[in-house]
Structure 1
Amino acid sequence: MSMIYAVDEINRSSSILPNTSLGYMIYDSCFNMHKTLTVTLSFLGQKFSEDLKEVCPIHAVIGESGSQNSLTIARFFALFLIPQISYFASCQCLSDKQQFPSFLRTVSSDTFQSIAIARMVRHFGWIYIGTIHNNDDYGREGTFFDNLGEEIANTKAKVILAFTSVPDFTPIIAELLRRNITNKQWIGSEAWIVSEVISAQDTINMFEGTIGFGISRNYIPGFHEFLIKQRPSRQDVNGVASNENLEASDTLLTDVSNLRVGYNTYMAVYAIAKALHNLQSCVHVKGIILNITCGDILSFQPWQESSGLSTASEHSSSWRELLGRWNVEFINNLGDLVKFDKNGDPSGNSYELINWQLDESGQVPKSVCSDSCKPSTRKVREKGKPFCCFDCIPCGDGTYSNTTDSPNCISCPEMFWSTKGRNGCVRMPIEFLDYSDPLSVILLACTALGLVFTMLIGVMMHLLHEMRMGMGLLLLALTGCFGCVINFVGEPTDATCPIREIRFVTFSMLVCSLICLAFVPAYASTQGKYSTASEIFALLGSAFGILSCIFVPKCYNTFKLWKNNK
């Protein structure tokens, strides 16, 4: 109806194509490829019919709506450079002027919609999503993700992009309703995001929250008044009887609040009319001169070559010259600028972001194969699965991670240890044997007792004249062994620590190997102050072992000999 209204409005206007009336022929392809081809061939037959050519010359075609059907007929029209302007075919492939030199459109290419959808997916952090698309040029050109799994209900993807048309999507919706699948977030393409059929009452619960980009709405002045004056010739057309007063009706036929495709059709008619007006008014741009009589638009043929261009590869004097290279542009009665770029696409690409919500309580769902790895873990990709599927492995002792989805765990610096939550490092606590500790008192008492015994033995050996060089050195070593125990008690300092890396434990272990074998496991299994205590026990055990095994028997024999001599 918007096309009929545009033709009627132009014919009533004195500012565009004065004294010239536009006519039209309407063919219904019913979204069927066979009918589309039949209609196209019928049109071409009338186009070149000698009987009809002089009566009502046909200069242009408005349509088709779908991308696949538009591609098919565009190849026919390209052979004769017959202009074709589509109001809904958005496939990016139709921008190829080598294949489709006479194709133009008043709807944006899917390239821009795909970019918008990709940015929206990135904005919401949706990493793992499924797709449903037509197995044709519209679906293949429009989507940029891997194919969706066969079972929608079982996929881990919570978000599904449906780049398809309403007729193709309808059977899928029926299957979704049968399975009662309601736990998915849908992204709709412009072909169905504003469909009143899909947003009906029986499906709204399943598709609540659906988000997508639709063709921008516009308003056509006077269109509503034009519609309500119509008197349908058939019964029950959109629920309207022929004898019904449309002024009091509230039907889809009279609703002009949501004009999208209708507005694009309206602009397509005006673009053709403006090109014919420029031709009739002898408007020449960029030096293009058409090989026709100025103002005689009835004799104009789209394949006539321009004398101003030399090569046929530039598609000379086609309607692309009139609409594109002639820079046909105009301000419509809404104040919008209408023009086409070099690819026959409309300038200015805008969409409306549409979200289906019954109320304002909608929440953004998550759609990932695996949840993000929290701090204290590292991310490891699962083999044989998509890149966004991974496991979260906890960081080990002495390592940490403090960021989400960290690929590695970081080792703590020396003298630092990982926190309990493995999300940072803290300095290791300084643990030592304090002088007031009961264990220290016992160990120091044993040390003092050992020193006393060593000195008594030394004095006794000296008085008995039994002190030898080796014996004296051994007693001196035992004295140092007992004395160094004092160095292990109290808080370590820079001065005392080096004296410990030269410990007398090594010497004692060499002398008392049995004690060594007993104390090494004990030393390895203790920590903190108890580790220090085990070192002292090793020293004391070695020292007392030397005293009891070497000097006590020696003193006993010497004392017995002295007593006998006395």
Structure 2
Amino acid sequence: MFRDGDLLIGGLFEVQRYLKVFPELSFRTEPKLPQCELFYMTSFQQALTMVFAISEINNNPNLLPNITLGYQIYDNCLRLGVAFRGATALVSGTEETVSDLNCKGPPPVIGIIGDPGSTHSIAISSVLGLFRLPVVSYYATCSCLSDKKKYPSFFRTIPSDAFQVRAMVQILRHFGWTWVGLIYSDNDYGIYAAQSFQQEMQVFGHCVAFSEILPNDNNPRDIQRIMGVIHTSTARVVVVFSASSLLIPLMDKVVLQNMTGRQWIASEAWTTSPVFRTSRFLSFLGGTLGIAIRRGEIEGLHDFLLRVRPNNDQRNNIVRIFWESLFGCTFETGGKNTEGEQVKKLCTGQEDLSTTNSPYTDVSGLRASYNVYKAVYALAHALHDLMQCEEGRGPFSGNSCAGITNLKPWQLVHYLQKVNFTTGFGDHVSFDKNGDALAIYDVLNWQPSSDGSIKLHKVGVVNEGAASGVMLTLDEDAFYWNFETKKPPQSLCSESCPPGTRRATKEGLPVCCFDCLPCGDGEISNATDAVECMLCPDEFWSSPDKDQCVPKEVEFLSYEEPLGISLTTASLLGTCFCALVMVIFAHHRNTPIVRANNSELSFLLLLSLKLCFLCVLLFIGQPQLWTCQLRHAVFGISFVLCISCILVKTMVVIAVFKSSRPESKGAMKWFGAVQQRCTVLVLTALQVMICAVWLSTASPTPHKNNQYIRSKIVYECAIGSVAGFSLLLGYIGLLAAVSFLLAFLARNLPDHFNEAKFITFSMLIFCAVWIAFVPAYVSSPGKYAVAVEIFAILSSSFGLLVAIFAPKCYIILLHPERNTKKAIIGRETQNI
């Protein structure tokens, strides 16, 4: 198809699909041109859209005034050789002789609209790019064409496969399909798209379950092998990058083998193809999701298409072929054929196209045609901007401008890179630095129509902004799912790992095939399919489900728990027993047994024991600064006071025995009441000094300990200074050892009521308890260390109370007849 004009725009379209007869290769005769068949109505509509756009531009006084655009359009027959022949014809012309030996004037065409195929565009742009002739494709999507070094003059009004792939992966991510199959055609479009798809899937940690090449020759064995792979794979989602013509044998097999239960994802190359939108494929391909070129509207195009009529100009033979294909007629002279069996139908050229129901007249879903429309206008706007240049202010060397009479292709490329306009439909058209158009797609869903066929339903939009990246918008209520559940299928190699677990990849398998391992103690994962578990902060611990960090339980010996209640009860009982003994001794203070046992030291001993019992209460409850400082100080001073009284009592007993002998008559003068009080006071004062120095230099403080039990915080009192604490215990141990030694030496003194024996026994209990305390205290964790210390305090206190005072109370309360001076002295005289 052609039309003369001041400047020509070339076009390459795949109006006819296949070669009917391959020309014989002979070097004796001139090769014949290839013949094509299977007229493609949709592609013819696209070619006439270019004609319509040029006609519209010529009638627009505001765009390219005083310039008439013409066109030359060739059919590529879906063959690279034919497409390349047409491109060279557009660039160099078809004249056999050169009319202008100086090669002046504009080129035969200022730019080419097409080719729709990626492989064709690669070959054509590789050659035409050397001459910087602009090529604006409306359907070639291979991402490789974005390489400006290889294809410096290539532009397109359709997004590249790079964005198409990102858009498809966004859809897969939206529905959680991480385990998908991949089928792609064995050409540049399919190979580059498959490579980009696999790389994009790896970025998001998704996996391709299988990857199969769809052969161009439709070999039955290869088709059957691919069917076997699809059938055995656990992937329920299959992504296909291929033209519809190459998919026909595979989809026929899908129908013949009754393969259902697959969710097909279609690339833009076959999403809108009418080949599969019949009732035959509904049960198998219904619910297919695909992305399609942005749909647009072109006002006036429908009426223009209806006005197309054949003419007698043989160079516009595409219109004639279209007319013959549509009405099954011929423009040749009617009459009988050679066999006389059939009369050929004559075409008048006046048939009404509005009554035909074909893709040619359907303008409800202009996608590729809309891209053609934008491509023509892009060239026109670039040419218009070029004409608006003011001499001396141009963009070229010396601030020069380009001229129509001496137009260079590379000058038009310069303006084409800066094209920026808006179509009548409201779409913005411009090209980025790679010559790619604004990336935007419609998301289509194949749904059943009322007549049992498949209709295309728009369910979303995906576009790419400069700042926001890929943006996917879906109307999920509008989806049709071809499954019994009427819901999206699951396509996973392994089920997602819930929060609280982490993914562990199975050896030798893709990353999408994994086991879910629970997080360890103190670790969490709060997201699905977490690769690693996170450690909780020091004062937090993992919840039972290991999905969040919760504050650690604070552990200390409290009054509310059974152990705390038991120890508190024992402490109060010991205090009450001490008070009871004091009452008994006070009531019987004038009896011989009380007076004989140094009543003043006995009362002081009972008071110190009461303090020992009461200091236990400082060890129970949440540690505070004042309780931490007082507990060991009160404990240390109370026990020193207690042991000091026992030590003085032991020394008094020994002194009394010694004074009964003639050679030691003056022994008692060193152990009078004043000396006894001073001794107790001095010994206790030393412990007070130890505590004062300890508290003033390295005082015990409350401390949250995370080391004993990782899942809990043990709230304890840090002793501050180990030396201070050791000195406090060592001083108590020293006094206890001296008391035990003296009492042991005096255990056999001849007395009816031998006080030294009871002191020896009490000191034996005391020392045994505190010797056992040290290893038990060190090995006990947390609050149990405090419980061990309390138990040692209570045990030693009860041991002293029972061993020293129980025998006396026994005689006072149960055998008062033995509580006489005669009974005590008699026994002593008898022994003497």
The TM-score, its normalising length taken from structure 1, stands at 0.65
Letter in 1 for 2:268: E
More RCO (CA 8 Å, sep 6+): 1
Distance, in Å, in 2 between the alignment partners of 1:449 and 1:335 is 101
Gaps of 5+ in 2: 1-43, 102-106, 212-229, 311-318, 330-344, 346-350, 401-405, 449-476, 481-486, 640-728, 734-762, 811-817
Residue of structure 2 aligned with 1:425, choices 542, 547, 551: 551
CA gap 1:461/1:402 in 2 versus in 1, 3 angstroms: farther
Q: Who is 1:408 aligned against? A: 534
Counterparts in 2 of 1:185 and 1:379: CA distance versus 1, 3 Å: farther
How far the C-alpha of 1:255 sits from its partner, in A, is 1.3
Paired residues of 2:378 and 2:416 also in contact (CA < 8 A): no
Is 1:360 the counterpart of 2:478? The answer is yes
Does the aligned pair in 1 maintain the 2:769–2:795 contact within 8 Å? no
Residues 136-285 of structure 1 correspond to what in structure 2 (within 5 A)? 136=188, 138-139=192-193, 143=197, 145-146=200-201, 149-151=208-210, 162=240, 164-167=242-245, 180=259, 182=261, 184=263, 186=265, 188-198=266-276, 200-201=278-279, 202=281, 206=285, 208=287, 210=289, 212=291, 214-224=293-303, 226-227=305-306, 241-242=328-329, 246-268=353-375, 283=387, 285=389
Aligned to 2:305, the other structure's residue is in SS state: helix
Aligned to 1:321: 411
C-alpha change, 1:337 and 1:371, in structure 2 (3 Å) is closer
Maintained 8 Å contact 2:244/2:270: yes
The structure with more helix, counted as a fraction of residues: 2
Distance 1:309 1:356 in 2: 55
**1:302 paired residue number:** none
1:7-47 superposed Cα distances (whole Å, 9 cap, x missing partner): 378579666798979463533332x4455456656777864
AA of the residue aligned to 1:253 = Y
Specify the SS of the correspondent of 1:325: helix
How far off is 1:457 after superposition? 9.2
Q: SS at the partner of 1:26?
A: strand
Q: Supply the distance in 2 between the matched residues of 1:327 and 1:477 (Cα, whole angstroms).
A: 100
**3-state SS in 2 of match to 1:151:** strand
Q: Secondary structure at the match of 1:511?
A: helix
- Summarize the Cα distance change of 1:266–1:419 in structure 2 as closer, same or farther, 3 Å threshold: closer
Deviations 1:385-412 (A, max 9, x none): 6499785645747x87878869524347
SS in 1 for 2:442: strand
- 1:76 correspondence with 2:76: no
1:382–1:389 CA contact under 8 A, matched in 2: yes
Match of 2:795 in 1: 541
Offset of residue 71 of structure 1: 0.5
Structure-2 residue corresponding to 1:564: 827
Indicate conservation of the 8 Å contact 1:220/1:263, yes or no: no
Which consecutive residues of structure 1, in runs of 5 or more, have no partner in the other structure?
290-305, 311-315
What amino acid does structure 2 have at the position aligned with 1:210? L
1:49 aligns with 2:96: yes
SS of equivalent to 1:139: helix
> What is the rounded CA distance, in whole Å, between the counterparts of 1:325 and 1:166 in structure 2?
36
Write the distance in 2 (CA, Å) between the matches of 1:287 and 1:215: 39
Residue in 1 that maps onto 2:681:
none
Which amino acid is 2:76 matched to?
A: D
1:565 maps to amino acid: E
Bigger mean CA deviation after superposition, 252-261 or 444-453? 444-453
Which of these residues, 63, 77, 86, is aligned with residue 29 of structure 1?
A: 77
Bigger Rg, structure 1 or 2? 2
* Alpha-carbon distance between aligned partners in 2 of 1:418 and 1:94, rounded to the nearest angstrom: 53
- Higher mean C-alpha displacement, 227-236 vs 423-432: 227-236
Q: Cα RMSD between the aligned structures?
A: 6.3
Q: Is the 8 A contact 2:236 2:261 kept in 1?
A: no
Answer yes or no: is the 8 Å Cα contact 1:378–1:407 preserved in 2.
Answer: yes
* Letter aligned with residue 192 of structure 1: W
Secondary structure at the counterpart of residue 85 of structure 1: strand
User: In 2, are the aligned partners of 1:434 and 1:440 still within 8 Å (CA)?
Assistant: no
1:534/1:77 CA distance change after superposition, 3 Å: closer
Partner residue, 1:297: none
1:448 corresponds to: 576
1:88, distance to aligned residue in structure 2 (A): 0.9
**Distance in 1 of aligned mates of 2:623 and 2:148:** 84
Read off the aligned partner of 1:65 and give its amino acid letter.
Answer: P
1:564 Cα deviation (Å)? Answer: 1.7
Contact 2:135 2:154 in 1 (8 A): yes
How far 1:481 moved relative to its partner?
3.4
Q: In the alignment, residue 50 of structure 1 is paired with which amino acid?
A: T
**Structure 1 SS opposite 2:365:** coil
The one-letter amino acid of 2:796's match is S
Distance 1:450 1:352, change over 3 A: same
